[in-house]
Chains A and B, each alone.
Chain A
Amino acid sequence: MLHKITHILDKAGLAWISPVVRLCAGENPREQGRQIFRLIGVPLIAILLFLGAWAVIAPKVETNVGTLPGPAAVWEQAGGLWQDHRAERERRAEFYAAQEQRRAAFEERFPDREWTAREYSGRPTYIHQIVTSLKTVFMGFFFASAFAIPIGIICGMSKTVYTAVNPLIQIFKPVSPLAWLPIVMILVAALYTTDNPMFERAFLSSAIVVALCSLWPTLINTAVGVASIDKDHLNVARVLKLSWHTKVIKIIIPSSLPYIFTGLRLSLGVGWMVLIAAEMLAQNPGLGKFVWDMYQSSSSQTLSLILVAVFTIGLLGFLLDRIMLTLQQLVTFDESSV
């Protein structure tokens, strides 16, 4: 049981919790104490040292929007943003409550007339911007996966296709999101011309740029995974004369799943990194735009707000990576034993 819990924690990338669990189970307190110090204490000390150094150095750096804010100021701004969001939510709730009252009164007075409800049009708060960013990155990630996994599988199955596609991969892989964005924006503006668009253009452009920059690790890893499938497994497919479709579904995808997930994890990392730049330029109302707007406003809070964004981006990126890592380890089976 205990072994199982710690095993799951290890798999979820939370190895640092396992000594605490072991300690609670009364297992060798001395040894567990040392482990706790090593896995939790040491990183904690490093973080405290970092914050200390930051607090000492920051006030000495003068800029044209005031001195560099220390950790306390940044923390305060983060709290402020959260307060803003709460206040906004309250206003929204009040708006709808008031509207509901008016509707009741209206229907009482004119039972035969139609009531037209109105949407609350508040400004997006920091939390909304985070949500937009996450939506954008997942959309881009979805585009990237939907393209890269099938192509990767085909590349892995056929050396000829791989040789044909490889130069294109090598050329497009290093292109920066900043180079893609103008082209994508122009193309989206030209081609995405519905009257009732499901997505904002800025949102779509950012997502496509994320996809263009992040699809390469998935493509390459999928191709490598498929190309390195155990020959015996392919022989099974040959003996059974499996159709192409069955072979892909039953043998090729499952056996290259660990590689595919490694690729997906790298892709999501790249996508998140690229997203901020794309949002800044495309004016997609997410974290990138937030940073850009703060920079433009150049008030005394500019720097601390941007720093809040920096930490948010870092923490969310870390979280996404952890989620992908866990998924990746869940699909990795112990192949050596078969």
Chain B
Amino acid sequence: MDPTLLDDYKRPFLELSQLGKTYPTPRGPAVILKDLNLRIRKGEFIALIGHSGCGKSTALSMIAGLNSVTEGVMIMDGKEIDGPGPDRGVVFQSPCLLPWMTAFENVMLGVNQVYFHVSRRERRTIAEHYLQRVGLGDAMHKRATDLSNGMKQRVGIARAFALDPKMLLLDEPFGMLDQLTKYELQDVLLGLWGKDQKTALMVTHDVDEAIFLADRVVMMTNGPAAKVGDILEIDYPRPRDRHALLADANYYRYREHLIGFLENCELEKEKIAREKAENAASKKAKEPTLV
């Protein structure tokens, strides 16, 4: 491995160590994450995959500072994360724009906050720039309610990038979109990410999306007490071409690897469930029957 790369890992941009999350529930504490360790280099694009309910969103919202940490520490750029802030742009699964504002105003809300030191004209230019970059040049003064889902998510992306954050956190941003819109937005996202050299962490369900976008794909084990199960390095040069990728022999190896991991998790889960059931059954059999 490249020695400079190793150096990068020694001083990562974002480091999660021994991260844990436990929710108190009526039926006792529920351990969602336990001993989650992850190091992310500056400018890296990480895709996070795992089965539904394993705690991906939980991990992401903890990094965003929107969810409290039960155990462990998160260090970003040399500082411990404690609470949300505009240095981490978040793109939610549902775009959650403010419906009473236009697309432009939604972006301006953040821009005003981050660029409070520049003139109003400049702030407007920044917001317009990012809206144009996501392809909303003509629709930026429409009310958020009047936009299609894909357009809303474009605004969501523009809003996150316009903050000029150090890091981007995306939680299944394209989950609700049709395939074509999804491809389009993936390109938009990669374009912005490549130009601004942000560090990005994106949760996704889509194995192909993960391979196409990410430098590394992080696989989480099934919950409860989920942690990082495996990491796959995607060794393709950028800018990437979707069609060239599909023609590549490695592509299917990557795909097999990821799907294999997910299937394995599923088998594991079934095995645990079966053992549990058997245990319970044998216990019952051993119990003395009342006469």
Cα of A235 to Cα of B94 in the assembled complex, Å:
12
Contact mask B98-115 → A, CB, 8 Å, 1/0?
111100000001100110
**Across the interface, which residues of B come within 8 angstroms of A333, CB to CB?**
99-100, 145
* Other 13 A-B pairs with CB < 8 A, given A233-B96, A240-B86: A230-B96, A232-B92, A239-B64, A239-B65, A239-B89, A240-B114, A241-B86, A242-B113, A333-B100, A334-B145, A338-B96, A338-B97, A338-B144
Which one of B99, B114, B152 has the highest number of Cβ atoms from chain A below 10 Å of its Cβ? Answer: B99
| Chain A residues near B85 (CB-CB < 8 A) | 239, 241
Interface residues in chain A, defined as those with a beta carbon under 8 Å from any beta carbon in chain B: 230, 232-233, 235-236, 238-242, 246, 250-251, 254-255, 257, 333-335, 337-338
A211 to B98, CA, bound (A): 33
Bound complex: CA of A308 vs CA of B275, how far in Å?
Answer: 84
CB within 8 Å for A338 and B145 given contacts A230-B96, A240-B110, A333-B100: yes
Decide if B96 touches A235 in the complex (CB within 8 Å): yes
Note all chain A residues with C-beta closer than 8 A to B163: 240
B90 within 8 A of A: yes
9 contacts between A and B (CB under 8 A): A238-B83, A239-B85, A239-B90, A240-B86, A240-B113, A240-B114, A241-B84, A250-B109, A254-B98
B residues with a Cβ closer than 8 A to A are 64-66, 83-86, 88-90, 92, 94-101, 109-110, 113-114, 144-145, 152, 163
**In whole Å, how far is B111's beta carbon from the nearest beta carbon of chain A?**
10
Contact call A240/B109, Cβ cutoff below 8 A: yes
A157 to B274, CA, bound (A): 48
Choose among B65, B84, B114 the residue with the greatest number of A CB atoms under 10 Å from its CB: B84
Say whether B84 contacts A239, CB under 8 Å.
yes
Query: How far is A337 from B66 in the complex, measured between Cα atoms in Å?
Result: 24
- Whether the pair B86, A236 counts as a contact (CB closer than 8 A) is no
The dominant DSSP class at the A interface is: helix
Measured between alpha carbons, how far is A87 from B242 in the docked complex, in Å? 86
Q: How far is the CA of A244 from the CA of B109 in the complex (A)?
A: 14
Q: Is the CB of A238 within 8 A of B66?
A: yes
Could you tell me the distance in whole angstroms from the C-beta of B169 to the nearest C-beta in chain A?
Answer: 9
Q: Which B residues are in CB contact (< 8 Å) with A255?
A: 98, 100
Q: How far is the CA of A230 from the CA of B83 in the complex (A)?
A: 19
Contacts of A257 in B (CB 8 A): 100
The minimal Cβ–Cβ distance linking B97 to chain A, given in whole angstroms, is 6
Cβ-closest chain B residue relative to A235: B66
B84 surroundings in chain A (CB, below 8 A) = 235, 238-239, 241
- The docked-state distance in angstroms from the alpha carbon of A11 to that of B251 is 56
Contact of A337 among B89, B101, B145 (CB under 8 A): B145
A250 to B99, CA, bound (A): 11
| Chain B min CB distance to A79 (Å) | 48
Q: Are A239 and B98 in contact (CB under 8 A)?
A: no
**CB closest residue in chain B, given A338:** B99
Question: In the complex, are the beta carbons of A239 and B88 less than 8 A apart?
Answer: yes
State in angstroms the CA–CA spacing of A246 and B94 once bound together: 23
In the complex, A338 Cα to B176 Cα: how many Å?
Answer: 12
- Nearest opposing residue in chain A for B105, CB measure: A250
- The distance in angstroms between the C-alpha atoms of A238 and B85, with both chains bound, is 7
